[in-house]
Amino acid sequence: MAMEWITAMDKRPCDRNLRDAELISCRLRRVEPLCRLPSSALQQLAMCGFYEDLEKGVTLFRAGEQGRFWYAVLGGSLEVRYHASETDAKAPVTLCNLSVGATFGESILHELPRDSTVVTKTTCELLRVEQQDFRLIWEKNKELMNDIITTCKLKNGFGSGVSPIASSPTKRPLSPDHPNPALPISESPSSTMSRMGWALRTLLIADSSSCLKDRKVAGKFIRKCAPGTELVDWLLNLSSIVHTRAQAAGMWQALLEEGVLSHVNKEQPFKDKCFLYRFRVDEDGSAGSYSTTEDTNAANEYVRESLSTLFQRGPDAILRMILRKPSHERTPEELELIFEELLHITALSHLSTSIKRELSSIIVFESHAQAGTILFNQGDEGRSWYILLKGSVDVVIHGKGTVATLKNGDDFGKLALINDAPRAATIVLKENNCHLLRVDKEHFNRILRDVEANTLRLQEHGKDVLVLERVAKQRGQHSAFKYTVMSGTPSKMLEHLLETRLGNQVSGLDPFLDDFLLTHIVFMPVVQLVDELANYFHCDSNNGSQTPEDREYIINFKKRVVQFMQKWVTAVRHAAFDEPSVCDFIEDLATEIEADQELSEETSIIHNVLTQMTRYQEDRNQNTGQKWKLPPNGQPICLFSGNATPSKTIIRPDDDIIFRVYCADHTYCTLRFPLHTTAGIIKACAADKLQLNRGPDDLVLIEVKSNGERSVYKDNDVSIPTSLSLNGRLFVSVKDHLDALTPLPEQEGPTEGIDIDLEILSTKEIAYQMTLFDWDLFWAVHEYELLYQTFGRHHFGKITANLDVFLRRFNELQFWIATEIVTTSSMCKRVGLLRKFIKLAAYCKEYQNLNAFFAITMGLSNMAVLRLTQTWEKIPSKFRKLFQEFEALIAPSRNHT
Ligand SMILES: Nc1ncnc2c1ncn2[C@@H]1O[C@@H]2COP(=O)(O)O[C@H]2[C@H]1O
């Protein structure tokens, strides 16, 4: 017989006769729930179906393929799999298993591509029916077919119905703003719950005194329903493990939240009251009304084995039900239950008891049935904060893909709320039936915003990529940001900056943007920065299909890149235009922006940047090849160049500088090199000129200071001549003979003051002129020079000449003050000079020239000057007092405040 039906099925449908059809339909009649179909339908299936006998591990179809067949499982089992994203290389999620009787592939009715992949788990026997044949059978037996599909879903837990995951992963979720505790939290019940439902219903039906009856309510006939109170009574009687009514109610609620049971009008969660409930299979009246003895025995056995599982689920089901109620409907006892639950949530552990109590009344339970659902998109407005209770989610970032997977207990979605910025990532559910707790923005702002944890860490691929720290609010400070960046990977910091510190929504700033613009060279070379900006700007080029939301996001991001460029060149000025990669990028941007209508508002910004760039390039061309000469001994820095004053002239890396290099016997050579020349080259050239016939490895370039101190240059150091200290001299020497180096006599320093009668000059006028001069020097210093100086010029290969000159000016001023005083032999003149210098410091301070003020005060604090007690005694006490104030001001202990 077995062989006969297979032989019949092996025939081509057009070759089958009535006997074949009878043999096949007999076989189908033994398969529950197919057997429920009328004979005519079974005959039709028998005439058009194909038999497939498959090995383990065969893929029947893949997600995304266009379906052609419907299937029924006659033997063996299969697995339904789902990939969270098409490009996701990670293991797929198993949605459910299909066993004998299951049917699948109904999506062909809707001409939809397959949502999931189906693979055989064991050797399998399948009935395969072509699309047009299945449609005919479906049309004639819609209700029964639907019922078979539902039963199949209940039995298998999920999946084989019409498009269980019909919504594509890119669709927006049904994020229920107001979840309804009367409705199920999953799309279809788990296999355990559906079987438990079947078992309880079978027993209820078998019980002659059962409460499950057909009833007439308000003139309407309702099949097989029962009041909550009676269902509770029945369950209490059924098993000794159920002791209290609350426990029984929890167990029924566990069935209700999975959709196995429901309130007849779908208006109530399970309540131990007279509300009527029924099993889902009774809603359309298709389920049978009687239980066979076999069924009853099987149900009894199942209940004996598995009721404890339902029992354990009760309390959680009750809690979830409460968490889906609106705040005003939660009773004090229910709030207490929630509060106790919140005590166990790690994401809330830093919060005080009173805050957790406040949260109890507003925190909401939310569940999502389908893996692949997008909770929200990167760039969306932030509306809620979430804690993951069950399941997992992928954190996906444009251009990067999945950067992290969050699991039970993790929280997300806070960043947008605390910074009033758009969502920094898209959150995609990785599993079916994810459970979340949600706190909406208005409550978050009211309850949590000011008590948030001090540190917030973002991870990508298991590593911290951004650490934010809460900003302590200072008086008068109106930063829009609650958190500022403490550390991070350069790329993540750039991404965070583009997302939060640029764009229209930013109403106030913290120093992060300026800090990044001015210091990125320390951790992110310009070439890398430009590369990343270009990637952000072109993020649409490898992104074929775009939804309008995607497009809006992309355009927004492009605008941010343009704004970043504008702010960057404004902050770093010529340093940006000195880099060829930056100039190329600016030109590319300008071309692309002009060609893109959606970026028309950005045209004026990029033109402005282009104009600045052109101006700078013209200026550079005019001033190329400047020549500088270090002033000879004792002369002031204003004689540094050929010009009498620096008049805002910037020293550039390719400007030449003329300087001397000495050797041990004090003979010297004069060299002329661009400022960016390395110490190694200078050393080799000087050794050659001074005929020190030694290899470069045996030689060093060294500064000898006036006190005999020596400091050796690294071969890759640049900006050498300007970095010499006041009265320092450059020597080239054999490494082993450093001890033989002595300062030149001229380095001893001046023995006389300058030959000007300072008394005839107005102190205010001197201070004024000094300030103008200092300002010019200061103006020429680029912020980057401070970084090169601090982190080591050799790391960057960049000159610090403008900063060197400015520092030299400070030292010069300081030593000039001391020299003038100690070289004035007349007491009377010295007293006058001391008074004049204190006044000079006061005027400099008044002109806000703190550089000169500090230098003068330090010059006056020189031990050689302080020792002149008689001179100090002769100046009026108000000058002495003023000087004491100045000394206090320069003391580092008070941080110069
Ligand atoms: N590496 C990451 N980059 C950005 N967001 C992340 C990252 N890891 C986790 N997230 C979370 O993803 C959320 C997306 O929305 P928010 O920007 O509000 O807050 C974000 C963080 O809570």
- The ipTM estimated for the assembled molecules is 0.98
Mean pLDDT of 250-258: 96
Put simply, whether the predicted model's pTM sits higher than 0.90 gets the answer no
The answer to whether 160 and 103 are in contact (CB under 8 A) is yes
What are phi and psi for residue 127, nearest 5 degrees? -100, 125
Sign of the CA dihedral running 690, 692, 696, 699: negative
**What is the C-alpha to C-alpha distance for residues 221 and 702, in angstroms, rounded to an integer?**
104
Q: Distance between CA 93 and CA 75 in Å, rounded?
A: 24
pLDDT of residue 169: 35
Using CA atoms, how far apart are residues 358 and 362, in angstroms rounded to an integer? 7
Q: What is the pLDDT of residue 159?
A: 34
Q: How far apart are CA 230 and CA 235, in angstroms?
A: 9
Structure tokens at 843: 């005027």
Q: Long-range contacts of range 886-890, CB-CB < 8 Å, 24 or more positions apart?
A: 886/838, 886/841, 886/842, 886/845, 886/853, 886/857, 886/860, 887/857, 887/861, 889/857, 890/854, 890/857, 890/858, 890/861
Q: What is the DSSP string of 121-152?
A: SS-EEEEEEEHHHHHHHHHHTHHHHHHHHHHH
What is the per-residue pLDDT across 690-744, written as a single tens digit (0 to 9) for each? 998 888 889 999 999 988 899 999 999 999 999 988 888 999 999 988 888 999 9
Q: Is 387 in the pocket of ligand 1 (CB under 6 A)?
A: no
Round to whole Å and give the CA distance between 876 and 477: 43
Cα-based distances in Å from 873 to 573, 603, 827, 846: 51, 68, 11, 26
pLDDT for 108: 79
501-511 pLDDT per residue, tens = 887 655 556 78
For 857-888, write each residue's pLDDT tens digit: 999 999 999 999 999 999 999 999 999 999 99
Residue nearest atom 19 in ligand 1 by C-alpha distance = 413
Query: What long-range pairs does 129-132 form, CB within 8 A, spacing at least 24?
Result: 129/45, 129/48, 129/49, 129/50, 129/69, 129/70, 129/71, 129/72, 130/48, 130/68, 130/69, 131/67, 131/68, 131/69, 131/70
The residue written with tokens 């077995």 in the block is 2
Q: Whose CA is nearest to atom 8 of ligand 1?
A: 458
CA of 382, closest atom in ligand 1: 18
Backbone φ and ψ of 818, nearest 5°: -65, -45
Is the distance from CB of 55 to CB of 120 less than 8 angstroms?
yes
Q: Where are the alpha helices (DSSP H) in 67-117?
A: none
Ligand 1 near 393 CB (within 6 A): no
The first and second tokens of residue 551, run together, are 């497009």
For residue 640, what pLDDT is reported?
61
* H or E element that contains 63: none
Pocket of ligand 1 contains residue 860 by CB under 6 Å: no
Structure tokens belonging to residue 848 = 């806000």
- For atom 9 of ligand 1, the residue with the nearest CA is 458
Tell me: pLDDT of 165 over 60. no
Instruction: Provide the token pair at 471.
Output: 């900003």
Nearest CA, atom 13, ligand 1: 413
Which long-range contacts does 466-471 make (Cβ < 8 Å, 24+ apart)?
Answer: 466/492, 466/493, 466/496, 468/415, 471/510
Looking from the CA of residue 416, the nearest atom of ligand 1 is 18
In the numeric block, the tokens 């001397």 are attached to 660
Q: Is the CB of 684 under 6 A from ligand 1?
A: no
Q: In which band, very low, low, confident or very high, does the pLDDT at 445 lie, cut at 50, 70 and 90? A: confident
Between CA 280 and CA 154 the distance in angstroms is 10
